[in-house]
Amino acid sequence: MYSLLKRSYLLLIVLALSLLFRITNLDLIEFKADEGINLFLASRPIFGHGFAPGGTVSSLGVTNFPLINYLLLPLVMISKDPRIISFFIALINSLAIVGFFIIVRRYYNQTIAFTSSLLMATSPWAILFSRKIWAQDFLIPLFIPFFLSFHKIVIDKDRRYWLLYAASSLFLIQIHQSALFFIFPLTAFMAYRRTGISSKYSLVGIALGLLPTVLYLLYQLRTGCFDCKMILSSSERVSDVSSPLLFLRPFQIIHQGNFFPILGENVVYFAQNFPIAYFSKYIYYAEYFLLALGAILFYKLFKKVGFIIFPVILLPFIYAFFRLEPHIHYFLIVAPFLFLFLGTSLYYLISHKNLLVKYSSITLFLCVILVSTYYNYAFYETVRAKENIKGDYGKIFEQTDRDTKEFYKKYVNDPYYEEMIIASYVPYSLSHGDIGVAKMLYDSKETEENMTILEERLRDVPIDRRIHQELIAYYTRENPSKETIRILKGKSDLNPGMIPVYEEVYNLYRERGGK
């Protein structure tokens, strides 16, 4: 009975710390173009449009898979308020950490489970990537069934879990293609270790995992595989050289390394008002040593699954080979394993017979948790004070929401009010007709047939961004010509609602060498 209470008590601590900075401060959520376009795409069926066959456009110009749209749809049906949607995303991520704790406790031990879970629960990067309307914020929740199936296959020799492993692998890859660079080597190592691949269950899992791609594949067939061309030309859009920062990112993502670009110049305010949080960052450098030690110990202590360290170590080398940008979210897919390695090193040191090593390790662990907790508090207090962060974080949603509703207050009773609000979160640049998002949403023939209706709508509601986006997509499906600019200039002179369309098309025309 005591053991059961102790186990439940530890689980509740993990849950409480996971929730602490994830489901609070929702008025401060990060909300920029990526979050706006995801909300826009996911909500389209609610406003009477068809399901978007794809997601956002990646940094390589390729249209992403639509799985994020399907995951967000139930949340959007509950509420279209980004704060409420972010609450559910944060809650799902918190429960995922609890799931991680349970699995690690089952297959390793309670000390490793508790330490690794608390480190993940309080990690600033883990928190930042768990409360946004962004595809990558679903990586950790989808990682849990993948994590469970891996252990069921390798340790329990239960071949039925190849179904879950195959399906969850494909879901992870659809959420962010970086998962492929980890899952493929891992699966190769599993095959090399003769874990007993089940063709029957794997094929069923693959079929289930590919279900969300049906509309995407049909869209590619209909467009002559537009994104195939983008993939083939992607080498033109990657860096010329590999970044050495790729090898630093696995160490940084476990705490708050490279976090200051999020704050930008507001880091000065952060340092002045929260000097303890700013200068205590040096304690995290101890984790660099613990991570390396933990990987070695993990390989030695857990023979059946120790090979997992190899695909984790290979990941930055693979990214370097393909010359990918050193984005820190590319390492989210291996973050739970990094925390597992940290937990392993702490378990080893805490279990040490030398009392100095034992209590020093406990003290270090508690200090990291306390510093991380205070750091997160200081970060959100800085964000609250500054509102419009001069770094990657940008403007908080509360201010965006306030400004947007003030801009549209005249049309609060318009039947399209809610859709206009959501459309306003999408930059005009994502409406250009020669990129994936616009191609899959707008049919130029339908736009041409409805041109009179669309222009009349802009006479009545000149700020209807839904119409602006459709018309921009129509006029930019090919490089704008001087004749196109002349026509739009004439229309904008007669109809003020056409001015944003003219200006966006004209700017694109100038960017592409027009005179």
Give the pLDDT band of residue 58 (cuts 50, 70, 90). confident
The total of other beta-carbon atoms located within 10 Å of residue 400's CB is 21
- Which residue in 166, 83, 170 sits closest to 131, CA to CA? 83
Q: What is the pLDDT of residues 73-106, one digit of tens each?
A: 999 999 999 999 999 999 999 999 999 999 999 9
- Which residue in 94, 128, 108 sits closest to 13, CA to CA? 94
Query: What integer is the mean pLDDT of 31-42?
Result: 95
Residue 96 CB contacts under 8 Å (≥ 6 apart), including other chains: 140, 141, 143, 144
The dihedral region occupied by 435, where left means phi > 0, alpha psi between -120 and 50, and beta the remainder, is: beta
Q: What is the pLDDT of residue 303?
A: 93
Percent of the chain at pLDDT > 70 equals 96
Cα 473-418-440 angle, rounded to 5 deg: 30
For residue 4, pLDDT over 70 is answered with no
Phi, psi of 329 (to 5 degrees): -70, -10
DSSP assignment, residue 481? P
Q: What is the pLDDT of residues 320-369, one digit of tens each?
A: 999 999 999 999 999 999 999 999 999 999 999 999 999 999 999 999 99
Q: Distance between CA atoms of 37 and 20, rounded to whole angstroms?
A: 28
Decide: helix, strand or coil at residue 409. Answer: helix
DSSP assignment, residue 289? H
Tally DSSP H helices, then E strands, for the chain: 28, 0
How many residues make up the chain in this entry? Answer: 515
Give the pLDDT band of residue 62 (cuts 50, 70, 90). confident
For residue 492, pLDDT over 70 is answered with yes
Angle at which helix 139-154 crosses helix 162-175, to 10 degrees, equals 150
Query: What integer is the mean pLDDT of 211-222?
Result: 91
Q: Distance between CA atoms of 263 and 186, rounded to whole angstroms?
A: 35
Q: What is the pLDDT of residues 408-434, one digit of tens each?
A: 999 999 999 999 999 999 999 989 988
For residue 233, pLDDT over 80 is answered with no
DSSP assignment, residue 57? B
For residue 311, pLDDT over 90 is answered with yes
Q: What is the pLDDT of residue 236?
A: 54
Contact 181, 319 (CB under 8 A): yes
Give CA torsion, residues 87, 89, 93, 95, to 10 deg: 70
- Which residue in 168, 173, 161, 171 sits closest to 201, CA to CA? 161
Q: Distance between CA atoms of 260 and 262, rounded to whole angstroms?
A: 5
DSSP assignment, residue 31? -
Give the pLDDT band of residue 319 (cuts 50, 70, 90). very high
Q: What is the pLDDT of residues 253-302, one digit of tens each?
A: 999 999 999 999 999 999 999 999 999 888 999 999 999 999 999 999 99
Q: What is the pTM of this model?
A: 0.94
Task: Count CA atoms within 13 Å of residue 219 on its CB side.
Answer: 25
Residue with tokens 């090193």: 345
The domain ranges of the chain are 2-386, 427-511
The average confidence (pLDDT) of the chain is 93
The dihedral region occupied by 218, where left means phi > 0, alpha psi between -120 and 50, and beta the remainder, is: alpha
Contact 100, 120 (CB under 8 A): yes
Residue with tokens 């090593």: 357
Decide: helix, strand or coil at residue 390. Answer: coil
